[in-house]
Each structure stands twice: as C-alpha cells, then as structure tokens.
Amino acid sequence: MTQTRNADGRGGDDGGADDGGAGERDAVVRLVNVRKDFGNHPALDGVSLEITAGESVAVMGPSGSGKSTLLNLVSGLDRATAGSVVVGGEDLGRLTEKGLALFRRRRIGMIFQFFNLLDDLPALDNIALAGQLVGMKARPARRQALDLMDRLGIADRRDIYPASLSGGERQRVATARALMNKPSLLLADEPTGALDSESGDQVMRLLADLNRLGQTVLVVTHDPRVAARCADRVIEVVDGLIARDHRTEAGSASVTGGASADTNAGSASVTGEAPADTNAAELRRTVR
C-alpha cells in the first residue's frame, strides 16, 4: 500500500505498494510528553507518539488504562494537563474552545461506541448535519450525504430514524457522518463495542477499506480482533503509559485480503453488489 500526500496533508492511495517509512511521511498526530490528570490520578503519564498520514493505528489496553483519554486528547474533546498535542499541524493546546470546535469539524471524523446519532434526525440529515456545520447549504449537503450512504450501502435507509436502524446501520451512518467533511484523521472509539459480531465485522471491514484507500485511522479498542483486522500498527497503553508500539503485518494482510474476500462473499451493506474494485474506487472518492 503506497501513501501519497495531498496538498492538505491527507493521505491518498495510488494503489501501489507501501514501502515508505514513517519518518518520510507527514505526522498527522504528534504527542510529546503528554500528561493528563483527573484529580490526583494521572490517566496519561508522559506519552509521546507519532502517527503518520495513511496509517491505521489501534490503541489497546485494559479498562482504565488511558486509551480513551488519549483519543479525546487527539480529537480535541479534552485538553492535556501537560505536554504538546499537535494534530494536522495544529497545536491543540493553543486553540480556544471555538478553535477546537472548528478543528474538529474540519480535520476530525469521529465514530463512537454508542453511535451518538441525533434521534430527531433521519439518517440522511444526521450525516448532512456535519456538512451544514462547515457552511454547506442544505441541498448539496444532503446530496453529498446521500452519495456517502450510497457508497456505504445504506442509501435505502436515508429516511429512517436512528431508533429504527440496526446497530451496524447506525455505525455506518455514524461513519458516513465522520467522513462527510473528508477529515485528515478518522477516530473510532470502540466502534464495534455495541455491535453483534456480524455488524462488528461489517464495521471492521469498512474501516480497513477506508484505510486501504488512504484514510488515516486511529481506533481505540480492547478487542484484539479489531486491532488485528483494522490496524497495521498497535499501541498498547497500560496505566497511562505506552507499554508497546508495534506493527501487525497480519492485520494489514488480513485487511487487504479480507476485504476482497468478504466483499466478494456478498458484503452488500458495505459495498453493495458491485465488485471490490468498484467499491474501492467509490470509497476512494469518499476519502478524497
């Protein structure tokens, strides 16, 4: 898998092999000696890491280890007590609340364990909302949202409200919403945690496909299967410290191979009935 760099620093996919080292690519995320305290308790204790464009990284660790805190710091949902968090070239510590909001809407796409869709809006409007927040008019925002739904195989659910969607469908709506503004970084917090195994598989494939197409992905999970299938790099956090940071060849292989295999097996909800190559092209447009 070869990563190229867009003008705005987003990763792209030319379909070639990935042989570039991390140091040669842009760092989308750079944490230096980051500390986060809750009261007297340090949730993160001097963490430093770097994620480059196009990487798919899984953060793993036991409950309370600090992995969600790490995600919140990277997404700008929370502020570090000490240290520096730079995402997409933005030093988040220097941003105001409004600046953080603007940063999130333009640079970050977030997928949550419990979807966090707005119950009062149908699936289409939940997705379009993200576009409208960056100033898109309602009609083009809905058109783009529908386009995304189509590519994620849920176009027929456009008028359905979240309460009537299955877990997998909800997470795909949430994913579409996260992709609406073409983020530099897609963050997923236990994206399969609230799903049955089949829906979980669909979401894992989707994340893997997106990464294969160049989307930088950071997934927080406690499930080794998710890490293995979605990530080419795993960071293990224990007691607020990075205990291990390693690459997973199997994961990358499984994603590449698995996606094609699963798609061919009829993963209509992700890619429809079209061949994997067509899906890849459509998702590529999404990511770009």
Partner 1 sequence: MRAVWRASRAAVKRRRLQTFVLALVVMISTVTVVVTLGLLAAVSGPFDRVYAAAKGAHVVAEFDRSKVTDAQLAQAAKDPAVAAVAGPFPQLVFHQSVAVGARPINVPGIMTVVGRADPHGPVDDLTLSTGRWPSAPGEIVLRQPGFFKAVPLPIDLVTPGEPTLRIVGFANSAGQSADAWVTPDEARALGATSTQMQYRFHSAGTDADLKTGLAAATKGLPADALTGSHDYLALKAKLASGPSAYLPFLTVFGILGLIVSVLIVGNVVSGAVVSGFRHIGILKAMGFTPDQVTVVYLLIVTLPAAVGCVLGTVFGAALGTWLVNQVFYGIQGAELIDGAAGVPATVYPAVLIGMPAVVVLAALMPAFRARRLPAAVAISAGSAQRAGRGLAVQRRLGGSRLPRAISLGLGWPFARPARTLLTLSAVVAGVTTVTLAIGMAGSTFRFGELHRRTDQVYFTTGSGSPADPAPTHTDAQIDALIRAQPGVLRVAADASVETRIAGSTATIWAGVIRGDYGAIQAPLVQGRWATAPGEVTVDSEYRHQFGLTVGQTIRMLDASGAEVPEKIVGEGPGWHIATPDWQSFIGLNPQGRAATFYVTLAKGADPAAVIAAIGGQDPGLHGAVDGESKTSEKTFLSIITTLTIMLSIVASLGVLNTVVLNTRERRRDLGTLKAIGMTPGQVIAMVVTAMTALGTLGGLIGVPLGILAHRIVIPLTMHGIQEETPDSMLDVWNWAGLVLLTLSGAVIAATGAYLPSIRASRAPVAEVLRTE
With beta carbons less than 8 A apart as the criterion, state whether 216 and 54 touch: yes
Cα–Cα distance, 169 to 181 (Å, whole number): 20
Q: Which is nearer to partner 1, 106 or 247 (CB)?
A: 106
The CA-CA-CA angle for residues 147, 148, 153, to 5°, reads 100
Question: Using CB under 8 A, which of 20, 32, 146, 161 touches partner 1?
Answer: 161
Q: What's the burial of 229, exposed, middle or buried (CB within 10 Å: 0-12/13-18/19+)? A: buried
* Binding window for partner 1 (CB under 8 A); candidates: 55-63, 84-92, 138-146, 278-286: 138-146
Minimum gap (Å) between residue 204 Cβ and partner 1:
22
226 binds partner 1 (CB under 8 A): no
**Are 34 and 47 within 8 A, CB to CB?**
yes
Beta carbon of residue 22, minimum distance to partner 1 (angstroms, whole number): 28
Question: Which region among 17-25, 58-66, 110-118, 210-218 touches partner 1 (by CB under 8 A)?
Answer: 110-118
Site residues for partner 1, 165-224, by CB under 8 A, read 177-178, 181
Do the Cβ atoms of 146 and 124 come closer than 8 Å?
A: yes
Closest distance to partner 1 from the beta carbon of 190 (Å): 11
Q: How far apart are the first and last CA of the chain?
A: 16
Return the structure tokens found at 152.
């994620």
Query: Which residues contact partner 1 by CB under 8 A?
Result: 68-69, 72, 75, 77-78, 97-98, 101-102, 104-106, 108, 110, 112, 114, 116-122, 125, 128-130, 132-134, 137-139, 142, 161, 163, 177-178, 181
